[in-house]
Amino acid sequence: MLDNNIALRMTRKALIYIFMTIFAIFLGFPFLWMVITSLKTSGQIFIYPPVFIPDPVQLSNYTDAWVKASFSKYFFNSVFVTVLTVAGQITTSSLAAYSFSRLHYKGRDKIFLTYLATMMIPFPVVMVPNFVIMRVFHWLNSYQALIVPSIFTAYGTFMLRQFFMSIPSELDEAATIDGSSKFGIFCRIIMPLSKPGIITLCVFSFIGSWNSFLWPLLVTNKQDMFTLPLGLAIFRGFEYNIQYNLLLAGTVICILPILVIYLLAQKFFVEGIALSGIKG
């Protein structure tokens, strides 16, 4: 009977691994095909049967994509906007989360619920008012328009609040007895202990800002201010006659930073997701 139970568990585990492997292949194949196509010549893309190993390997597609579409400028814009947006979201979300989780004042929970309710408002509803504000400030076609509206996030505040509430309040009391101020507690205790949650928010903020397309499209009409997602759209114009190998090479360039950031922060990312919902 014992051997039958062990065999049954091993069979079940093997089936799960087989299913997950097949599922991973289905999910990963489009990305693999994207990389393969980015290394093909224009004549190899639509031939049948498909070519799975490019011959020759066209590494020049990446340099052509970088040079022809001014990808260096778009890459700089994306990095600059994303870094400042992430820094802004971490700053505003952590301060707001600290207020909502550790400070006690009248109406705190009601204010938090009101703030949280903004998550239910879809972006198209606030898109036009934000655009009008940018125009009034004369910020169109500027980094301010790409950065400032994105540095406030209700989701980031909610996630960090949940994480801050999992930190024992006895640490605050001990720090207060030692003469630390509220801001000192925030800087010396709360933030260092919240590294997984902060890194998780950094990953989410980075991905959201890096992939943003609609808002940059709305507030910029000069190529000097384009970010990478807008730069990719250039390959669909008549100038390059939709060269799919260059388009996919540019897409690979766009995806690589996200992949690197996620791999570097994977440990903290998983821990932050697991711990941010301990307390409600």
Q: What is the pLDDT of residues 48-93, one digit of tens each?
A: 777 788 777 788 888 887 877 778 888 899 999 999 999 999 999 9
User: Does the pTM exceed 0.85?
Assistant: no
Q: What is the pLDDT of residues 121-157, one digit of tens each?
A: 888 888 989 999 999 999 999 999 999 999 988 889 9
165-179 b/e (C-beta count within 10 Å ≥ 16 → b): bebeeeebeebeeee
Helix 195-210 × helix 244-275 angle, to 10°: 160
Range scoring the smallest mean pLDDT among 18-27, 185-194, 231-240: 231-240
> Could you tell me the maximum CA-CA distance found in the chain, to the nearest angstrom?
77
User: Is residue 46 very low, low, confident or very high in pLDDT (cuts 50, 70, 90)?
Assistant: confident
Helix 244-275 × helix 71-102 angle, to 10°: 10
pLDDT(272) > 90? no
Range scoring the smallest mean pLDDT among 103-117, 148-162, 223-237, 245-259: 223-237
